[in-house]
Amino acid sequence: MTSTIVRPEASVSELEDLSYELREKLLLLCGEYNGSVHIGGDLSCADILTLLYQYGMRVDPQDLRNPERDRFVLSKGHAAVCMYITMAIRGFFDYREIVDTYGQLDSAYGMHPCKVQLPGVEVSTGSLGHGLPLATGMALHARRNGMSHRVFTLMGDGETGEGSVWEAALAANSNNLGNLVAFIDRNRQLMTSFAEERVKLEPYPDKWRAFGWNVIEVDGHDMGALVTAFDSLPEPDSDTPTVIICDTVKGKGVDFMEANLAWHAGSLNETDLKRALASLAHGRKAA
């Protein structure tokens, strides 16, 4: 069956440009918003979200309810603003509106995504460890109804400490959901610690293999590698769910935020915003 929704055409260098645009817009919002933004975890998953929305997923901003669309569940709900802006770049929302209303009374755009206030997002999330069960239910619906789309979710590595993630990992494999793809933003930082210091997730890929999942490991900031990983996904009608473990850096792209526990969340004054944008631009030139 041919889908009525086509994937966007984008080269790796175009995707890199879109990722840059996303990070720049994130920082600008962070500079304008008079409150805290989860900028560290936004920057670590910016390339993954760009891959999904500007390359991988069959979605149509003009046809939100098309049954053939790929589904996306943002399990790490605190990266909502990164998703909003990615979706704005794709044509779902208006970036200016996001910046002008973010976090304000009656705005649809807040710290964690709300399906009721913002119907353009697939689900409401925020509490960690909830996304994979939701995505599993959606993938089960597709599988049992013979539908050919995929269901994607993005989790932080820290949230995989939640037991509900592993309950769903069992359920997804037990129900042969090859149409389910979980990206993990493996930035190796929790809110207050570096992951392996307090929580020993390693051997991390083996944990997923032990739960019966197909495991792909990739540099989460190498767009070419991300595209290759995406292109190697098994067909949606296959029987094994896939996890793509993306090796990332929290705060990626802004030197003073990278792997810095102080930048789990924060706000940018005028000086810091300039420094951040300069660092981002410098990194691009160097690359």
Partner 1 sequence: MTSTASTAEVTSFTFGEMLSSRTVIGQTLKELGEANDNLWVLTPDIGATLVEFRDAFPDRFVDVGLSEQACVGLAAGLAYEGNIPVVSGMLPFLSMRALEQVRSDICYPNLPVKIVGTHGGLVGNGGSTHYAVEDLGLMTSLVNMTVTSIGDPLMVGEVLRQSMSMTGPLYIRLAVGKKDKVVYEPGSVTVEIGKGITAREGTDLTLFAHGETVSQALEAAEILAAEHGTDARVVDMFTLKPIDADLIQRCAEETGRFVVVEDHLAYGGLASQISDVLVDRGIRLEGFQRLGIPQVFAGFGEDTELRDKHGYGLQATVDAARDVVRGAAG
Q: What is the smallest separation between the CB atom of 65 and partner 1, expressed in angstroms?
A: 10
Instruction: Determine, following the binding rule CB under 8 A, whether residue 64 of this chain makes contact with partner 1.
Output: no
- The region of 41-49, 54-62, 169-177, 243-251 touching partner 1 under the rule CB under 8 A is 169-177
Instruction: Determine, following the binding rule CB under 8 A, whether residue 175 of this chain makes contact with partner 1.
Output: yes
Q: What is the smallest separation between the CB atom of 17 and partner 1, expressed in angstroms?
A: 33
Site pattern 107..126 for partner 1 (x: CB under 8 A): -------xxx-----xxx-x
* One residue of 76, 130, 186, 264 binding partner 1 per CB under 8 A: 130
Instruction: Determine, following the binding rule CB under 8 A, whether residue 135 of this chain makes contact with partner 1.
Output: yes
Q: Which residues face 186 on adjacent strands?
A: 247
Instruction: Determine, following the binding rule CB under 8 A, whether residue 167 of this chain makes contact with partner 1.
Output: yes
* One residue of 52, 132, 154, 184 binding partner 1 per CB under 8 A: 132
Going by C-alpha positions, the residue among 266, 265, 276 that lies closest to residue 41 is 265
Q: Which residues face 153 on adjacent strands?
A: 73, 182
Tell me how far apart the alpha carbons of residues 71 and 138 are, in angstroms, rounded to a whole number. 8
C-alpha distance from residue 220 to each of 10, 121, 136, 176 (Å):
18, 23, 23, 26
C-alpha distance from residue 283 to each of 23, 52, 286 (Å):
12, 23, 5
Instruction: Determine, following the binding rule CB under 8 A, whether residue 149 of this chain makes contact with partner 1.
Output: no
Tell me how far apart the alpha carbons of residues 42 and 276 are, in angstroms, rounded to a whole number. 14
Instruction: Determine, following the binding rule CB under 8 A, whether residue 138 of this chain makes contact with partner 1.
Output: yes
The burial class, CB within 10 Å (0-12 / 13-18 / 19+), for 145 is exposed
Instruction: Determine, following the binding rule CB under 8 A, whether residue 181 of this chain makes contact with partner 1.
Output: no
Instruction: Determine, following the binding rule CB under 8 A, whether residue 228 of this chain makes contact with partner 1.
Output: no
CB 18 within 8 A of CB 49: no
Using the minimum distance from each CB to partner 1, give the nearer residue, 101 or 164.
164
List residues near partner 1 by CB under 8 A.
114-116, 122-124, 126-127, 129-130, 132-142, 144, 163-164, 167-168, 170-171, 174-175
